[in-house]
Chains A and B, each alone.
With several copies, the nearest count.
Chain A
Amino acid sequence: MRARVLVKPKAGILDPQGQAVERALPALGFSGVRNVHVGRLVELDVDDPERLPEMCERLLTNPLIEDYEIVEVAAAATGSVA
């Protein structure tokens, strides 16, 4: 299975990257953008998707500072991104 792990800074933790994006957008003429957060995307093929949560907890994220979500990449989508 091709999976995506979406990693985000935990709510309440200062996210200077998100802030920087939010500050930069109006200067480029993009208004009406709020609550920007910047995190990490990990995409991978796994034989055994059941082990993904463990991989996330142990390596791919730091649970003290990050939340994550696992998303399966549909076959079609995979094609378009790869």
Chain B
Amino acid sequence: MKFGIVRFPGSCDEVDAQLACARVGEAVILWHGDRDLQGVDAVVVPGGFSYGDYLRVGAIARFAPVMGEVAEFARAGGLVLGICNGFQVLCEAGLLPGALLPNTSLRFIFRQVELEVAESGTPFTRACPPGRRLSIPTKHTTGRFYAPEPELRRLEATGQVLLRYAPGHNPNGSLRDIAGVSNEGGNVFGLMPHPEHAVDPLTGSTDGLSIFESIRDTVADRVAA
């Protein structure tokens, strides 16, 4: 399978995402100005500081030409993963519910956190080992997940909250410890932690790999079907 990783001006973790994806498939970079997804099977909107995070995180990137294609792709059911800044961009683009607000500490925080998989069996979590926490780094200034109360209840009822910070591990004040949510269709997923930085025993944990494996398995099933 082929992953496409979007590169905006100011993206920082796109090569890391490419390296992580390359462990489970092929991975190409998608230039922000191109309206071409190069026939990829899944899209990753990576971390970093697209457009310097200026004005409001993700606000400018969502208008990049490539994002029109990504939105199309998502509407057609394609798998889209947004990591950190990518999550923020997808929220701004309306492809994911809610918004990300400044951390309650108002600071950038790097921390290796533990996550609980709240929904297993989804296209993005099916390969996660059941009942086990994931140890994955977070690093951001604006990661406090927010949605109005009724929306939060709906997200939980429909199983759109896929990852939560384990008790005591919420680094940013996210409501209900939400670390990652999907869209209603379940094919777009955004999370603040960085699974691409947890794929190599030399640089930390390998717990993030299961997110990319889940995507690979989902794509494989779809092709088989």
Contact = CB atoms under 8 A, between A and B. Distances in A.
Nearest to A36: B55
Contacts of A62: 56, 59, 92, 99
B60 A16 contact: no
Interface size class of A (residues with CB under 8 A): 10 to 19
Nearest to B148: A64
A28 B61 CA distance: 11
A21 interface: yes
A17 interface: yes
Interface in B98-155: 98-99, 101-106, 144, 146-148
A20 B60 contact: yes
Given A24-B60, A60-B55, A65 B146 contact: yes
Is chain B's binding surface mostly helix, strand, loop or mixed? Answer: loop
A14 to B, nearest CB: 7
B32 to A, nearest CB: 11
Given A13-B146, A27-B63, A65-B146, A21 B99 contact: no
Interface residues of B, number: 22
A16 B103 CA distance: 8
A60 B56 CA distance: 8
A38 interface: yes
B56 A20 contact: no
A74 interface: no
B88 to A, nearest CB: 10
A20 B51 contact: yes
A5 to B, nearest CB: 11
Contacts of A28: 63
Nearest to A27: B63
A16 B99 contact: no
Interface of B: 51-52, 54-56, 59-60, 63, 92, 98-99, 101-106, 144, 146-148, 173
